[in-house]
Homo-oligomer: A and B are copies of this chain.
Amino acid sequence: AALAAGGAWASEELVKMSANPKDWVMPAGDYANTRYSKLNQITAQNVGKLQVAWTFSTGVLRGHEGGPLIVGNMMYVHTPFPNKVYAIDLAQDNKIVWRYEPKQDPNVIPVMCCDTVNRGVAYGDGKIFLHQADDKLVAIDAKTGQHVWTAVNGDPSKGQTGTSAPLVVKDKVLVGTSGGEFGVQCSMTAYDIKSGKQVWKAYSEGPDDQILFDANTTSLGKPVGKDSSLKTWQGDQWKTGGGCTWGWISYDPQLDMVYYGSGNPSTWNPKQRPGDNKWSMTIFARAADTGVAKWVYQMTPHDEWDYDGVNEMILSDQAINGQPRKLLTHFDRNGLAYTLDRTNGELLVAEKYDPKVNWTTGVDMDKNSATYGRPKVVDQYSTDKQGEDVNTKGICPAALGTKDEQPAAYSPDTQLFYVPTNHVCMDYEPFKVSYTAGQPYVGATLSMYPPPGESHMGNFIAWDGKTGKIAWSNKEPFSVWSGALATAGGVVFYGTLEGYLKAVDAKTGKELYKFKTPSGIIGNVTTYENGGKQYVAVLSGVGGWAGIGLAAGLTDPTAGLGAVGGYAALSNYTALGGTLTVFSLPQQ
């Protein structure tokens, strides 16, 4: 591939910058989505002395996901709708250098399924890229805050919205779409970084020229063949098929491939859409330049539980059975953690990362089996088998999965993944719905609760992706809806829905520090260095799907797609409000 006009690719700059642990230049810290930092001033020994260094209110109330970017002395802080962006000068007493506030039609709010969240901005080519709630992608001059270009990625009046963070890859900006609860045919799209013109668009379902599959596209080592998606849908149901792309994107610069997952097939009523509903619930490995799929793997064919497959793909290089492998590890909503070979999509490990997962007995790992790679579904928890208008009870995990969007971290030091998890089960009753553009297309009533006999709704776990085993697990009263951070100091950080920032020992999980931030944390912990000092930063601001009751002021237990009842007790601990809290060690 030729260099982009005007010099090296933005991604080359980003690879260089992300190798410098002082900065935090992309939402996940690096292209591999490890959320690991080489900074080691803060250690397991001294983290107990951590203090709040400074704080910053964003001026927005609802759920604050993602975290700030740090590029040199500049910090970029984003908010949920209306998606403000602040540029803060760390060298000038955190003065606000510019603020950007898009004008957006508030009618987008009711089209957002799971709070008005936004998972962060991207940096590259001297610009900040903001994925607005109204599914516009905007480029802003990073120095001045001036608007550079806008790309229209979707149309909220058709149920398309934006919550995901863009990723800058080479001379492109990649961005997904939300709308799985509105019957959107979702896609991943690449825009030219200079002009905002569309370069490629890859749908999750549809004809091969829309999903960008070719003769070389494989699944589990075998070519998928022609019309691999169309064949798994009845009629043209794929046109309202969901498979949304609202999660995280990873990139391997050596292999030149991007990785991401697709969400639930629409509707949530499985009876209404017979077939495997490909390629919903799928990991995609696509060529960065063309978008053509190299390999795919569908984790939950014919979803019956809303187990979106969008959770992050963490790229690591580890040895399995003594063999160095280029791995992709993925903690799926369905409760299974997958380790694949990211060069070719070979399935290496698939294990439950919460022992309470009961809808499946596991994945068929027999390469010679006709159902190789498919989860074995337990009839009792099959909402399709139980049927329409039947309330299937006690399914674990709940629709928000053993993990949702909250990203895990990976430390090469311990070779462990640090995973914020949900420990929640559900009742699920599908019912018939019909599709109207821009209207909810859900077709199920849910309620959520902790597993029988237990009262805690979350665990923060360490996971060995080579063996598929939990190394240690810490109980949390609520689901851990915050992204983790692993550091070379041997400390792992995460936030809790009540609002605690916690630091634990990477090896043992022992709690070393906690601090109650102003509001529940659904943001992702970040670290950076400035003026010779390591800082840890986190956005609080309760919300997201788990916090939708507080965020949207709902009280009916089945509201918020069933989350309101499950997390009702949260209101005893916290209230809304977006604040960045920045920590450091005290002056010596």
Contacts and interface: CB of A to CB of B under 8 A. Distances in A.
Interface of A: 51-52, 54-59, 61, 84, 86, 93-96, 99, 515-519, 540-541, 571-581, 586
A519 B52 CA distance: 15
A380 to B, nearest CB: 38
A516 B579 contact: no
Contacts of A517: 55
A95 B575 contact: no
A143 to B, nearest CB: 16
A470 to B, nearest CB: 28
B57 A575 contact: yes
Nearest to A93: B516
Given A51-B52, A52-B52, A57 B519 contact: yes
Contacts of A57: 518-519, 540-541, 574-577, 579
Contacts of A572: 95-96
Contacts of A86: 575
Contact of A94 (B52, B99, B516, B571): B516
Given A55-B579, A56-B518, A59-B576, 6 more contacts: A55-B516, A57-B579, A59-B61, A59-B519, A59-B575, A518-B579
B579 A579 contact: yes
Nearest to A572: B96
A58 to B, nearest CB: 6
Contacts of A577: 57-59, 577-579
| Total copies of this chain within the assembly | 2
A518 B540 CA distance: 11
Contacts of A56: 516, 518, 575
A93 B477 CA distance: 14
B58 A515 contact: no
A580 B573 CA distance: 14
Max chain B CB contacts within 10 Å: which of A59, A96, A99, A517? A59
A224 to B, nearest CB: 49
A348 B517 CA distance: 49
Contacts of A52: 51-52, 55, 515
B581 A55 contact: yes
Interface centre among A51, A57, A578 (most CB of B within 10 A): A57
Contacts of A581: 55
Given A518-B518, A518-B579, A96 B55 contact: no
Contacts of A96: 571-575
Contacts of A54: 515-516
Contacts of A99: 571, 575
A574 B57 CA distance: 7
25 contacts: A52-B52, A54-B516, A55-B517, A55-B579, A55-B581, A56-B518, A56-B575, A57-B575, A57-B577, A57-B579, A58-B577, A59-B61, A59-B576, A59-B577, A61-B61, A84-B575, A95-B572, A95-B573, A96-B574, A96-B575, A518-B518, A577-B577, A577-B579, A579-B579, A586-B586
A515 B581 CA distance: 12
Nearest to A583: B52
Top 5 A-B pairs, shortest CB-CB distance: A57-B577, A57-B518, A59-B575, A59-B576, A52-B52
A578 B61 CA distance: 10
Contacts of A519: 57, 59
A459 to B, nearest CB: 20
Contacts of A579: 55, 57, 518, 577, 579
A548 to B, nearest CB: 15
A171 to B, nearest CB: 34
Contacts of A93: 516
A99 B573 CA distance: 11
A244 to B, nearest CB: 30
A550 to B, nearest CB: 8
A576 B84 CA distance: 12
